[in-house]
């Protein structure tokens, strides 16, 4: 694998991850690009003890372009990526967080305001606009994994970044704005609320919470797929109609801590689960795929790297909307028993194999 760091014409970083060491990325980007936006701001919610990013420039971000105008397809006038690629990563043109300094007026009350310092990147999994992660070749999945590992390490070293989050949103029902197969990476300037809550639970638990959860699930009825290094299971208290967690069998805090065998073994289990999801109802399943990694410098000894994959589709023509209870109170009501969901996913074995 060869990594090349270049820059787009507006100064944003563009990184190529190539399978061939002979790849030449020396040609400069000489296009005229719009100026970079002003940085976002963070506002503190004293009731929830959470920070909220205010990024008004994101109102103008690209929204569902045609295939011919896709900014993630390589080497055309409107592309973010000026040449062909295997896997490409670049700074988001419409970031929620950035390293630019900004000045913000006080908002009054009990809310504090500070610059939205951090980093937001886009990861293009493949140049093929019609592809999906589930259809990627094993070597391509391994290359994406190497990009995740590299970017997690690099963003973790940036001043002010407290947590790195790699994720993919897929499907119009989820709210994507670009259908090209891609993910994103956020370098947050704080530890996210969900991670704080999970680590609080792990800290209160008498023992290793994550390891005990994994051991119980591996011995139970909700395992969907597994190999020597990874197990994928529907959690006992799944919040979404179809939700699968993937755990490595060895506790590590983040993606860079995986050894080569664990990195290579992830793809076969993950893509199998994705194919099973797509086989459930004969339609492309919308999903969110979220890597849970340890914070950069906060309670890393408690964390256990894992991936959470979930879909809001509950039936061929029905979605699970996060309505009053979920959105208003954060109290989930699931329409499908987790054991039933696991059975349905396992029944897709012929399509997955």
Residue 297 three-state SS: coil
- Annotated active-site residue in 7, 57, 63, 182: 182
Q: What is the DSSP string of 6-70?
A: EE-TTS-EEEEEES-TT-----------PPPPPP-EEEEETTTTEEEEE-GGGGGS--S--GGG-
Q: Tell me how many helices (H) and strands (E) the chain has.
A: 7, 16
Task: Report how far residue 51's alpha carbon sits from residue 44's, in angstroms, rounded to the nearest whole number.
Answer: 5
Binding residues for Zn(2+): 70, 73, 129, 180
Q: Where is the binding site, in residues?
A: 70, 73, 129, 180
DSSP state for residue 300 in the 8-state scheme: T
Contacts of 221 (CB under 8 A, 6+ apart): 339, 342
Report the candidate in 175, 172, 155 with the shortest Cα–Cα distance to residue 164: 155
Clarify whether 292 is annotated catalytic. no
φ/ψ of residue 346, rounded to 5: -65, -30
DSSP H or E run through 230: strand 230-233
Name the pairing type of β-strands 119-124 and 182-188: antiparallel
Name the H helices within the chain.
138-156, 193-204, 209-218, 260-279, 329, 338-346, 349-352
The residues annotated with a catalytic role in the active site are 182
């Amino acid at each position: 694998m060869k990594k090349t760091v270049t820059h787009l014409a507006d100064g944003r970083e563009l990184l190529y991850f190539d399978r061939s060491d002979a790849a030449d990325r020396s040609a400069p980007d000489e296009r005229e690009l719009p100026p970079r936006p002003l940085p976002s701001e963070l506002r503190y919610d004293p009731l929830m003890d959470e920070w909220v990013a205010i990024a008004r420039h994101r109102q103008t971000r690209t929204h569902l372009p045609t295939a011919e105008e896709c900014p993630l397809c390589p080497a055309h006038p409107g592309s973010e990526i000026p040449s062909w690629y295997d896997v490409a990563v670049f700074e988001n043109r419409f970031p929620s967080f950035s390293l630019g300094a900004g000045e913000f007026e006080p908002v009054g009350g009990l809310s504090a305001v500070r610059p939205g310092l951090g980093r937001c990147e886009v990861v293009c999994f493949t140049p093929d606009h019609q592809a999906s992660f589930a259809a990627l070749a094993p070597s391509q999945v391994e290359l994406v994994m190497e990009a995740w590992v590299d970017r997690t390490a690099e963003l973790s070293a940036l001043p002010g970044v407290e947590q790195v989050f790699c994720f993919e949103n897929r499907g119009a029902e989820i709210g994507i704005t670009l259908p090209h197969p891609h993910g994103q990476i956020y370098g947050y300037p704080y530890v996210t609320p969900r991670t704080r809550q999970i680590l609080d639970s792990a800290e209160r638990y008498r023992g290793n919470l994550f390891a005990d959860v994994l051991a119980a699930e591996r011995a139970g009825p909700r395992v969907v797929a597994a190999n020597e290094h990874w197990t994928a299971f529907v959690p006992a208290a799944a919040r979404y109609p179809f939700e699968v967690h993937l755990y490595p069998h060895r506790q590590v805090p983040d993606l860079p801590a995986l050894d080569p065998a664990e990195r290579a073994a992830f793809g076969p289990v993950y893509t199998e689960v994705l194919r099973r999801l797509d086989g459930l109802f004969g339609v492309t399943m919308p999903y969110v795929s979220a890597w849970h990694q340890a914070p950069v410098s906060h309670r890393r000894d408690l964390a256990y790297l894992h991936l959470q994959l979930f879909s809001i589709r509950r039936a061929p023509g029905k979605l699970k909307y996060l309505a009053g209870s979920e959105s208003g109170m954060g109290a989930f009501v699931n329409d499908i028993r987790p054991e039933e969901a696991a059975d349905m996913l396992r029944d897709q074995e012929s399509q997955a194999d």
